[in-house]
Amino acid sequence: MEKIKPIITYSVVVPVFNEQGNVEKLNQEIKEVMTLLRKNYEVIYVNDGSTDRTIDELKELEKVKIIDLNKNYGQATALDAGFKSAKGEIVISMDGDLQNDPKDIPKLLKSLKERNLDVIAGWRLHRKDKSGIKILTKTGRFLRRVLIKDRVHDTGCTLRVYKKKAVKSLDISGEMHRYILAILRWKGFKIGEVVVNHRPRTNGKTKYGYDKAIKGFIDLIYIWFLDKYSQRPLHIFGIAGITSFGAGILSGLFSLYRKLFLGLSLNRDGWFFLTFFLIISGIILFSFGIVIDLLMKIHLNNSPYEKRYYIREIIAR
Q: Report yes or no: 99 and 198 within 8 Å, Cβ to Cβ.
A: yes
User: Which has the minimum average pLDDT: 36-40, 53-57, 259-263, 302-306?
Assistant: 302-306
Q: What is the pLDDT, as a whole number, of residue 137?
A: 65
Residue-level pLDDT at 171 = 84
The pLDDT assigned to 272 comes to 77
pLDDT digits (tens, 9 = 90+) for 269-292: 778 788 889 999 988 988 887 787
Helices (H), the chain: 23-36, 54-59, 75-85, 105-114, 131-148, 164-167, 180-186, 210-229, 234-262, 270-300
Interval 175-208: pLDDT, tens = 678 888 888 988 889 999 999 998 887 776 665 5
Residue 11 has pLDDT above 60, yes or no: yes
- At 221 the pLDDT is 73
Strands 10-16 and 311-316: unpaired
Look at residue 8 in the predicted model and tell me its pLDDT.
92
Nearest-5° angle of CA 100, CA 103, CA 107?
Answer: 105
What span, in angstroms and rounded, lies between the C-alpha atoms of 65 and 197? 26
- pLDDT for 215 equals 65
- List the domain boundaries for the chain: 10-228, 234-299
User: 293: which residues sit within 8 A by CB, 6+ positions away?
Assistant: 232, 233, 234
More confident residue, 62 or 139: 62
pLDDT at 304: 47
Provide the whole-model pTM.
Answer: 0.72
Contact by Cβ (8 Å): 226, 186: yes
Q: Which residue has the higher pLDDT, 210 or 103?
A: 103
pLDDT at residue 1 greater than cutoff 50: no
The pLDDT score that the predictor gives to residue 210 is 57
Q: Are 288 and 259 in contact (CB under 8 A)?
A: no
Mean pLDDT of 3-27: 90
CATH H superfamily, domain 10-228: Spore Coat Polysaccharide Biosynthesis Protein SpsA; Chain A (3.90.550.10)
**What's residue 45's pLDDT?**
97
Nearest in space to 167 (alpha carbons), one of 282, 50, 82, 74: 82
pLDDT digits (tens, 9 = 90+) for 112-166: 999 999 999 999 887 765 666 566 666 766 777 776 677 778 888 899 999 999 9
User: How would residue 262 be classed by pLDDT, with cut points 50, 70 and 90?
Assistant: confident
Range list of H helices, 156-269: 164-167, 180-186, 210-229, 234-262
Model confidence at 105, pLDDT cuts 50, 70, 90, reads very high
Q: What is the mean pLDDT of the chain?
A: 83
